[in-house]
Amino acid sequence: MKQEMMEIVQQKQLAPKIFEMTLKGDLVKEMQQPGQFLHILVPRADLLLRRPISLNHIDHETNTCRIIYRVEGEGTSVFSTLSAGDYLDVMGPLGNGFDLSDLHTGDEVFIIGGGIGVPPLYELSKQLVKKGIKPTHFLGFATHEVVYYEKEFNRLGETRIATDDGTYGMHGNVGNLLLGTKTKPTAVFACGSNGLLKTVEQLFSSHQNVQLSLESRMACGIGACYACVCHTPEDETGTKSVKVCDEGPIFKIGEVII
C-alpha cells in the first residue's frame, strides 16, 4: 500500500449521481487484483475521513485507473465537482481482491452485481476473460435511468439486467435473473447490497467457490480502527470478528455473517 497525489485525467457522469473518474499516477503499478479499493482523501479541510472506492479498471500501459462512485454525502459530492487537472490524495490499493487462482481456461463463472456494487466486477471480468474464462453477468439496478456499463460488460460476455421497477430488463432483482439459469458455474463472484449477497448465499449455499465483496463503512482503511468489523459464524464471544478493510472486502461464502 502506498500513497500518492494522483492526477484526475477525466471525470464524467454516467447516470444520475453516478460518476466515473480516471486517475493517473505511479500508484497504478501497485494495482493488480480486482476487488481491491482506493482510500481517497476529500480535498476539503473539514472532511477528515478518506472515502473507500473500489477499482473499476486498471490500465498499466497508460498508468491510469478508473473508479466509479455514487454521490451519497458531502465527500463524494466534493469529488463530483473536480475535473481533469485536479489532484487527489490516494492511498492504496487496499484490501484483498478476488482470488482467481483456482480457475482455468474454459471455466464458466457467474458475476453478480447490484447498484454501486457493479464497478469492481468490470475489472474482475476483464481479468477472467484474459485467462480464457467465460463470464455471465447478472446486474441489478433500481430503475432504467441508473443502469450503467451494460455495453462494457456485454463486450466481455453475456449480460443480463434486472430493474426493481421493471423499467428495463427483467422486472425484479438479480435473484429473479438467477432463478432461470441452468449453467453450473465453476465460481460465483458477487458485489452489492447485503440483500443481494444474502440471495447469492442462499442460491449457491453448497457451491465450493463463491466469493462475496462486502460494502462497509470505513475510517482508517488499514485495519487499525475497527470501524469496519463484521461478525463470523463463530463469533458469539465477540473474539472472532473480522475487519472488512484489511481481511476483506472479499470473503468466501459462510466466512462472515451478512
Beta carbon of residue 171, minimum distance to ligand FES (angstroms, whole number) = 37
CB-based burial label for 4 (10 Å; 0-12, 13-18, 19+): middle
Instruction: Give CA angle at 225 (220, 231), nearest 5°.
Output: 110
Q: Is 250 annotated as a binding residue?
A: no
Q: Is 230 annotated as a binding residue?
A: no
**Between residues 58 and 91, which has the closer beta carbon with respect to ligand FES?**
91
**Between residues 66 and 243, which has the closer beta carbon with respect to ligand FES?**
243
Which parts of this chain interact with ligand FES (CB under 6 A)?
218-221, 223-228, 243, 245
Q: Is 70 annotated as a binding residue?
A: yes
CB-based burial label for 194 (10 Å; 0-12, 13-18, 19+): exposed
Instruction: Give CA angle at 120 (93, 28), nearest 5°.
Output: 35
Residue among 75, 91, 88 nearest 38 (CA): 91
**Between residues 49 and 142, which has the closer beta carbon with respect to ligand FES?**
49
Beta carbon of residue 53, minimum distance to ligand FES (angstroms, whole number) = 14
Beta carbon of residue 116, minimum distance to ligand FES (angstroms, whole number) = 18
Q: Is 160 annotated as a binding residue?
A: no
Residue among 211, 250, 210, 207 nearest 230 (CA): 250
- Rg over alpha carbons for the chain, rounded to the nearest Å, is 18
Q: Is 228 annotated as a binding residue?
A: yes
Rounded to whole angstroms, the Cα distance separating 237 from 191 reads 28
Beta carbon of residue 128, minimum distance to ligand FES (angstroms, whole number) = 28
Beta carbon of residue 226, minimum distance to ligand FES (angstroms, whole number) = 5
Are 35 and 250 contacting, i.e. CB atoms less than 8 angstroms apart? yes
Q: Is 168 annotated as a binding residue?
A: no
Q: Which three three-digit cell numbers place residue 181? A: 439459469
Where is the binding site for FAD, in residues? 51-54, 68-70, 75-76
